[in-house]
Amino acid sequence: MTSRIDYSVWDHIEVSDDEDDTHPNIDTPSLFKWRHEARVERMDQSIKAGEDLEKGLAECKRKLTEAQKKTKNLSSSVTDDAKAELSKAQAEEKRLKKEERDWEKKLEDHRREEKKMPWSVDTLCKEGFSKSVMNIKPDVKEETEEQKEQKHKTFVEKYEKEIKHFGMMKRWDDSQKYLSDNPHLVCEETANYLVIMCIDLEVEEKKALMEQVAHQTIVMQFVLELAKSLKVDPRGCFRQFFAKIKTADQQYQDAFNDELESFKERVRGRAKIRIERAMKEYEEEERQKRLGPGGLDPAEVYESLPEEMQKCFDEKDIAMLQTVITKLDPTEAKVHMKRCIDSGLWVPNSRADEGDDKEEDATYEELNKEMGEQKIE
């Protein structure tokens, strides 16, 4: 059975409750605020224009009524003066009738334009009853993280060169033409890649390039947000964005620039975190390379030694080390020597210096003997 209800009136509703989720890489409360304020301002201007037209038409009707009364009163007079006044009154009546038709046409045109305007939250949502109704959003099956990651990877492998080219563009017209030639780039995957590209450039300290790509990132984000608010495919509305931004009022331009500056600050923050993480990973790798046979870091063990023992290792003087050990408390000496061996600072029976092998072995045996007498195992 064919439905008799015409649903086409809902096809072009400009609806956004200004609380929709935005892209994770961009903070857009200012954009939501501007969007709502601009919509309300347009409504107010349209309402005021309609009211002015109605007032003008009412005033014209009032004057026409007075002119018609005057014409009627003068038509019964036969004097020359009365005839002259009658002629003027008839001319005025004729002029006011024409003016009335003009006012009516303007008002009709205005109402016709009002009907063509897309509906919005502010025109749809007017209080009819003072009660609350729970509207539960149906469950929508979303892509898993693995699916999103695979989708992004596949897209980037195929279009990475084109995305980078778009990211380096500077002029509005060039960007619009490039997207017209490559509409498949108008999507979340392009925006996500540009965000990562910005962070990479900031890490590499290519700040000027980062700022250029950041500009194109926000262009793509604004297009995606516009498509979301209009509930259309972003490939079908990017031209509207460029048409608007090229002739934008100061408020819209300020909203774009504020979002751009905010995004660049977030990129710098993310890049700083990445650099710090990389430095920590590098330091940990170097530390792992330094670890001795017992799993201790020689640098950390060295810093924990008494100053006298540190001097022994600085000068590589075994005799001095033997003397220092004999002066320490036996338990403390045992702990320090055990940590030195586990960290690799002290290598028993080392053959590193071949010219002094025998002398060092004998000295080490003496050191062991002395430590044995102090009951250090």
- Residues 12 and 16: their CA atoms lie apart, in Å, by 12
User: Which helix (DSSP H) or strand (DSSP E) does residue 296 occupy?
Assistant: none
Burial annotation 141-180 (CB, 10 A radius, 16+ → b, else e):
eeeeeeeeeeebeebeeebeeebeebbebeeeeebbeebe
Give the H or E element holding residue 143. none
Tell me how far CA of residue 177 lies from CA of 93, 195, 217, in angstroms.
Answer: 57, 22, 17
- pLDDT on residue 211: 92
Structure letter (DSSP) for residue 3: -
CB atoms within 10 A of CB 224: 22
Query: What's the confidence (pLDDT) of residue 88?
Result: 84
**At CA 114, angle to CA 108 and CA 118, rounded to 5?**
155
Greater confidence (15 vs 194) lies with 194
The tens digit of pLDDT for each residue in 238-271 reads 888 888 888 877 787 888 889 999 999 999 998 8
Which segments of 291-356 does DSSP mark as H helices, in order? 298-304, 307-315, 318-327, 330-343
Mean residue pLDDT of the chain comes to: 76
Spatial distance between the Cα atoms of 158 and 154, rounded to a whole number of angstroms: 6
